Amino acid sequence: MADSKLAEWATEVLAPLDAWAYQCHAASLKLVWEGEPLGARRVARGGCKGVGGQHSWVVLGDDCYDDRAVIIDPTLWSYDESVQGVWVGTYRDGLHVPHGKGYIWDWGRPNPATGSVIELTPSKPFSQAARGFLDLLGPLDHEGWRLLAHAPVEGWPAGEILAAIENTPGLAGRVPIDILGMTTDLNPKGLYLPTEAEAA
């Protein structure tokens, strides 16, 4: 769907648009609830030029970190007077940066365990990619998993492993809510996907 058509659709869903000023997350979630057939599947959250604090927008598709993904920002106009109406573009426009953006291979790795090793308890078996990554990582203790939960999410099977961290007794709540909402299907507090909340 062309950018102008997406902007028109979003404007119709949110009419009157002025009522959503500065309500970036609520407006984005409304579009996700209404727009899954169009591919408006996830709310993303992070930083945006022209916005003084955290900001939310919609990503078409499932990858909140894909530079090519179309994004819809329904409220940027209320923060930045140079924007007229609903903004549609991609990360390549250089405005939006989701929390967790970056490659783990540039970040490094958690230190090896010095405390009690904690084995993850995934709710479903790990993929081969996740098992391979965990083998490279080696055993981790509580601090190691906490650090990994705050690592950049690109370049590794973050969604699988972060969901397993959240599912593991003693580790739940260590993954930042925005990262959990953008990388997994858990939909914490019902704030990221067009489904019921699955995680607190």
The pLDDT, as a whole number, for residue 37 is 65
The pLDDT, as a whole number, for residue 36 is 67
| pLDDT range class, residue 51, cuts 50, 70, 90 | very high
Read off the pLDDT of residues 136-159 as tens digits, 9 standing for 90 and up. Answer: 999 999 999 999 999 999 999 999
CB 60 within 8 A of CB 7: no
Side by side, the strands of the sheet bearing 55-60 are 87-89, 71-73, 55-60, 40-48, 96-98
The residue-averaged pLDDT of 3-18 equals: 94
Look at the pTM and tell me if it is higher than 0.85.
Answer: yes
Taking the C-alpha atoms of residue 34 and residue 180, their distance in angstroms, rounded to an integer, is 22
The pLDDT, as a whole number, for residue 38 is 75
The pLDDT, as a whole number, for residue 2 is 72
Q: How is the chain split into domains, by residue range?
A: 3-98, 104-175
The residue-averaged pLDDT of 113-141 equals: 96
Q: 43 pairs with which residues across the strands?
A: 58
**Is the pLDDT confidence value at 200 over 50?**
no
Instruction: Give the number of other CB atoms < 10 A from CB of residue 62.
Output: 15
For residue 142, give both structure tokens: 């509580």
* Percent of the chain's residues with pLDDT above 70: 96
At 49, the amino acid letter reads: K
**Is the pLDDT confidence value at 34 over 50?**
yes
Taking the C-alpha atoms of residue 44 and residue 50, their distance in angstroms, rounded to an integer, is 17
The pLDDT, as a whole number, for residue 195 is 79
